[in-house]
Amino acid sequence: MPLSPFATEKNMAHLSPKPSFGSGIDSLDHVLQGVLAGDNVVWQVDDALHQVPFVRAFCGRARQDGKKLVYFRFARHPPLVEESWAAETHVLEPRAGFEQFITRILDVINACGKGACYVFDCLSELAVDWYSDRMLGNFFKLACPYLYAADTVAYFSLLRNTHTPLSVKTIHATAQVVLDLYRSKGCDYILPLKVLGRHTPTMYMLHARQGDCFRPVTSSMIISEILATTPQPWLDGKITLTDTWSRTLREAQQACDAGRREGSIAGERAFLGKMVKMVVSRDSRLARLCERYFDLCDLVAIGKRMVGTGLIGGKATGMLLARAILNKTDDKWQDLLETHDSFFIGSDVFYSFVINNKCWWERYKMKSAAEPLKAAAAIRKKLLAGKFQRDTVEQFREMLNYFGQSPIIVRSSSLLEDAYGNAFSGKYESVFCANRGTPEERLEQFKNAVRTVYASTMSQEVLSYRADRGLWSRYEEMALLVQRVSGAFYQDIYLPHLAGVGYSFNPFAWSPDIDPQAGLLRLVFGLGTRAVDRHDDDYTRIVALNAPHKRPEVGTDQVYRYSQHKVDLIDLARNAEGSATFEEVVAKAPDLPLELFADRDLTMEERAARHGVTKVFSWVLTFEKLFRDTAFITDMREMLATLAAAYAYPVDIEFAVNFAGPDHYRINLLQCRPFQVRMEGRAAVPPPRHIATEDIVLKSAGPIIGEAVSGRISRVIYVRPEKYHALATTERYGVARLIGELVRQPTAGGIMLIGPGRWGSTMPELGVPVACSDVKNVKVLCELATMHANLSPDISLGTHFFNDIVEMGIVYLGVYPEPQRQGYLFSEALLLGRPNQLAGEAAARAGMAEVIHLVDMVDDQQELIIHTDPLKQQAVLFQAGRRA
């Protein structure tokens, strides 16, 4: 019965012997009691070329036996296999990444089938290219069992006394045969360290090669001369075996120290590019930016705050790079930015976690699985229950000791994330840890947070996004950013004074006075989750940075209604993230600089007085004094402009702000990434000058976000508000799923969604809970303010949902159906007067035909034409003419 790739030493040891292959040296075969099908033979050498005579003999025997011979060439040393030996040579590039490297090898093994012979270049160079001994061990854990299951024989070599004991132990535990090869005075000696499933009384003695014969060395004089002159790290305390990553970091630190002493950066430059590739990014565009703004000491400081090895990922890179850009542009940012003391869990830790918990093979097979989402769900379950390596857990423990009981957040920092072209906005999990309890309880909470983020790489939303962006064939490499939550303690709650997101380009210019190039903020009081998550019927403050006092709302009543009423925070009593009303937070934090963030609603106070109410909470979060009396707006506008100029691209950021006095604050820059907005296509094609009112399906005077569009709509999916409102919660999720199916059906033109409340809401009572993957083919997304009286269309600038629809090029518009609203119109009758194509669908959908009205254009109908002008905040959908 063939072995799975999960073969272990224990179950391999009990298999009956397989037919012998042969090393090409009969006496060596005798020493080893044969070279068996499935043997992975590791030669430990002082020089990679010392193995060549044995490789030559092995290749000769393979040719003699008519076996397929494959050579994997990837190292910088001279070839181990000569061209004349008729081997099938595959040239690999380790620096392209672990996944691409191992996948290419596995594909070759699959193509070759059973019984082939393989020779690999010296494995030690992989550790150099990957800056990681841990990943060298991970490679062997994957390749060796796969070769074993294919009944092959493979030759590997490893430089002696070069790698950490952990990585060497991993390789020894996985290989079937491990041989120490010594060369002394022109003679070769071998010392078998492991020969699985075979034994003779003299097998583990030192053997000397004399011609083609290997004989045990019986003279203590010769044995001691050979072995005593070979360094033994376990005996010599002066020999410290560190991996490539640690050695490089130490050498970089020495170059930094020398540069400071000598006042020269020449030595630093030699290390800068290497350190960027080892720690930060191997993306050429981002690496150039890093080399421009990071100095070597910056990179060494990052390395010292890493758990494990590997890259720190996109989110961590964006945060650190943005800080470096600002600090190197103007000294004022040194005092204005809150110091970060984040830690970085390297991408190699994720790889090890996936491999050690038997998930890598499932990921490998998932790419070609008939039901990849079903396979992903099984992997996700295993990741949520996975175990960490002991050394990693100890580093977790030390990191938590450093943070004490300050709340922290574990954030995804994928290598694919926050890059040019792919934001992955809100796709992966981020988990707050309130950090209450005993050290062991806090450690367990932290490990669960890490597992949760790792498991989110297998979520349907992530996989759909990757498929849509042409990233399906790329494996996930997940690093983590562990940050102290910015804020302060107030009794049993913890929160920052301000938080939010910022954009260097404002896609929502709701007034001619607003300059899109000046940027925009979405500002909240408390944790920034309320600014990026679209989850309830609350509002945030939208701030145009060149006109901060100009609001989309008009009138005092609207300002109060559309202000923030709930505050996200860390609930220390519950040991979890939570929320409270603004009034509840103020009661617990009497020393808040309240007047900086809020204004009293005098109309409310007068109304209360008339009714004899003496206690009323009249504070409304407006932030007007913050904008008027501090430099906050100026600082944020300058920050965004500086970062956009450095990136040569629009950017979006996440931030928190804490005040130590009315005019003394620090900005904690938490994230920075390219903003995937389409700058072109904003000039609108005007609609016809005279459109009959009876032909207008809908008209909007804002909000309208996105590029200007003008053209035919071939499919309208209309969710009828009164019918949707009558559904149970589970049925509303069914509506969202069906819409996803309808959107994914091929159509000849643009698709428009029209529905009540907030598209993408996680609360079905407030709108249709579609995922971004459900609306990816939509051209126009329209929200009707009809869910309930106090819920308006929410432009959601800064939320993850908003970032996705901007990235996908979807036009967003809001419509108030009330006839008294100037500039707005919605004629439901024009849609319902057209045949509902859903009525003819399968019987399972029959119940949905009352809720969803599906309009597909047919030849005898008037066309539906859409015109949007985001600069003028005007949009119209109308019917015109008849299709030919």
Q: For residue 221, which amino acid is it?
A: M
Q: What does the pLDDT look like over 130-147, one tens digit per residue? A: 988 999 999 999 999 999
**Fold observed for domain 496-674:** D-amino Acid Aminotransferase; Chain A, domain 1 (3.30.470)
pLDDT over 90 at 759, yes or no: no
Pairing relation of β-strands 40-45 and 153-159? parallel
* Interatomic CA distance for residues 224 and 229, integer angstroms: 8
* Interatomic CA distance for residues 712 and 735, integer angstroms: 25
Per-domain residue ranges of the chain: 9-228, 345-485, 496-674, 693-880
* Interatomic CA distance for residues 175 and 193, integer angstroms: 11
Q: What does the pLDDT look like over 30-84, one tens digit per residue? A: 999 999 999 999 999 999 999 999 999 999 999 999 999 999 999 999 999 999 8
pLDDT over 70 at 679, yes or no: no
pLDDT at residue 678, as a whole number: 61
pLDDT at residue 857, as a whole number: 84
Core vs surface per residue 24-63: b (16+ CB within 10 A) or e: bbebbbebbebbbbbbbbbbbbbebeebbebbebbbebbe
9-228 belongs to which homologous superfamily?
P-loop containing nucleotide triphosphate hydrolases (3.40.50.300)
pLDDT at residue 444, as a whole number: 97
Per-residue pLDDT averaged across 323-328, rounded?
A: 97
Q: What does the pLDDT look like over 498-522, one tens digit per residue? A: 999 999 998 777 777 889 899 999 9
Number of helices (H), then strands (E), in the chain: 31, 35
Point out the least confidently predicted range of 163-167, 236-240, 495-499: 236-240
* Interatomic CA distance for residues 833 and 697, integer angstroms: 11
The residue assigned the tokens 């005098």 is: 602
Q: What does the pLDDT look like over 709-742, one tens digit per residue? A: 999 999 999 999 999 999 999 999 999 999 999 9
pLDDT at residue 62, as a whole number: 95
pLDDT at residue 80, as a whole number: 97
Kindly state the percentage of the chain with pLDDT values over 90: 61
Domain 345-485 class in CATH: alpha beta
* Interatomic CA distance for residues 100 and 75, integer angstroms: 16
Strands (E), 450-584: 478-484, 488-490, 493-495, 498-503, 520-525, 541-544, 566-571, 576-581
pLDDT over 50 at 9, yes or no: no
Per-residue pLDDT averaged across 313-331, rounded?
A: 96
Per-residue pLDDT averaged across 814-825, rounded?
A: 83
* Interatomic CA distance for residues 693 and 710, integer angstroms: 19
Per-residue pLDDT averaged across 121-135, rounded?
A: 92
pLDDT at residue 19, as a whole number: 47
Contact criterion met (CB below 8 Å) for 462 and 424: yes
pLDDT at residue 555, as a whole number: 54
Per-residue pLDDT averaged across 408-416, rounded?
A: 93
pLDDT at residue 266, as a whole number: 65
pLDDT at residue 7, as a whole number: 44
Neighbours of 19 (CB within 10 A): 9
> Residue 883 — pLDDT band, cuts 50, 70, 90?
very low
pLDDT at residue 822, as a whole number: 86
677 vs 625 pLDDT, higher one: 625
Contact criterion met (CB below 8 Å) for 126 and 136: yes
DSSP H/E element including 91 = strand 88-91
pLDDT at residue 554, as a whole number: 53
Strands (E), 352-505: 408-414, 430-433, 478-484, 488-490, 493-495, 498-503
pLDDT at residue 8, as a whole number: 43
Is the sign of the CA dihedral 550, 556, 557, 561 positive or negative? positive
Point out the least confidently predicted range of 337-341, 368-372, 655-659, 732-736: 368-372
pLDDT at residue 538, as a whole number: 77
435 vs 558 pLDDT, higher one: 435
pLDDT at residue 388, as a whole number: 97
> Residue 20 — pLDDT band, cuts 50, 70, 90?
low
Whether the upstream peptide bond of residue 703 has omega within 30° of 0, thus cis, is yes
Return the SS3 of 491.
coil
pLDDT over 90 at 762, yes or no: no
pLDDT at residue 236, as a whole number: 52
Is the sign of the CA dihedral 442, 446, 452, 453 positive or negative? positive
Core vs surface per residue 75-98: b (16+ CB within 10 A) or e: beeebbbeeebebeeeebebeebb
pLDDT at residue 424, as a whole number: 65
pLDDT over 60 at 676, yes or no: yes
